[in-house]
Amino acid sequence: DGGITQSPKYLFRKEGQNVTLSCEQNLNHDAMYWYRQDPGQGLRLIYYSQIVNDFQKGDIAEGYSVSREKKESFPLTVTSAQKNPTAFYLCASSIYNGGPEQYFGPGTRLTVT
């Protein structure tokens, strides 16, 4: 089955620790995205990548880092510099130069205490 997987579903970390969230897709999509969702707010774009070895900052990139070494994978690291890391993190993908529709993974709920 084609799709986007994110792991783990729930993640708990102590403040001051970096944590990496996984995102893998087998849809052969070129573009991948990371969003965070907070209660009462729309999804906000953290980073996106349209091609391997290239990525761009979104609207709220501070305190986050990404890599895109393979087309299928786009991991997100939440660093200790991120002031409010507790959130629902969603990875998405789309066909580059196709329609702008994005398809989402099941998300990771990160809680930092």
Partner 1 sequence: RKEVEQDPGPFNVPEGATVAFNCTYSNSASQSFFWYRQDCRKEPKLLMSVYSSGNEDGRFTAQLNRASQYISLLIRDSKLSDSATYLCVVSHANFGNEKLTFGTGTRLTIIP
Chain residues in the site for partner 1 (CB under 8 A): 35, 40-43, 45, 48, 50, 56, 88, 90, 99-107, 109
CB of 54 to partner 1, least distance (A): 12
Nearer to partner 1, 2 or 99 (CB): 99
Q: Which residues does residue 6 pair with via DSSP β-bridges, in sequence order? A: 23
Are 6 and 107 contacting, i.e. CB atoms less than 8 angstroms apart?
A: yes
CB of 16 to partner 1, least distance (A): 27
Nearer to partner 1, 58 or 79 (CB): 58
For residue 63, count CB atoms less than 10 angstroms from its CB and return exposed for 0-12, middle for 13-18, buried for 19 or more: middle
Nearer to partner 1, 5 or 17 (CB): 5
CB of 23 to partner 1, least distance (A): 12
CB of 107 to partner 1, least distance (A): 5
